[in-house]
């Protein structure tokens, strides 16, 4: 499995002018997704593969839309979240969720 690239290299994103008005909403939705995963992980119950499915879908969705907005790190972390859920790797999922939160607090974009 390829290693997730460091988010530091992706903190400045160039977005296309025709989608610039949608980027703030895109980022806010990813922040909401991250909070949903954190809430899921904070429950102290055993997580079955079925319970992980909503989190897996969040990752799968990020994998699909990140690149469309120019946020290629979001695509990469979404794929990793999807895979961690498939493997039921909760420590990896926790790490990825933390990295996603860190990234979303710091990422900036410019239109060009």
pLDDT computed for residue 5 by the predictor: 87
Once rounded to an integer, what is the mean pLDDT over residues 103-107?
Answer: 97
- Summarize the chain as % helix, strand, coil (round to 5): 75, 5, 20
- pLDDT reported for residue 24: 97
Q: With 90 as the cut, is the pLDDT of residue 28 above it?
A: yes
What does the pLDDT read at residue 44?
A: 66
Amino acid 47: pLDDT: 65
Residue 2 lies in a domain: no
Domain that holds residue 28: 11-111
Q: Is residue 6 one of the residues assigned to a domain?
A: no
- The enclosing domain of 25 has a CATH number of 1.20.120.160
Q: How many domains does the chain have?
A: 1
Distance between start and end Cα atoms, the chain = 33
Distance of CA 106 to the CA centre of its chain: 14
Report the distance separating Cα 77 and Cα 34, nearest Å: 11
In a domain, 1, yes or no: no
Confidence label for 95 from pLDDT (cuts 50, 70 and 90): very high
What does pTM read for this prediction? Answer: 0.91
Q: Which helix (H) or strand (E) holds 95?
A: helix 90-106
């Amino acid at each position: 499995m390829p290693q997730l690239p460091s988010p530091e290299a992706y903190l400045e994103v160039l977005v296309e002018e025709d989608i610039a008005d949608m980027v703030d909403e895109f980022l806010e939705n990813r922040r909401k997704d991250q909070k949903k995963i954190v809430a899921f992980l904070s429950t102290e119950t055993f997580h079955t593969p079925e319970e992980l499915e909503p989190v897996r879908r969040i990752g799968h969705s990020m994998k699909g839309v990140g690149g469309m907005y120019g946020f290629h790190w979001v695509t990469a972390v979404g794929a990793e979240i999807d895979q961690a859920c498939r493997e039921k790797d909760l420590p990896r999922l926790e790490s990825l969720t933390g990295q996603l939160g860190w990234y979303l607090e710091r990422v900036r974009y410019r239109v060009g």
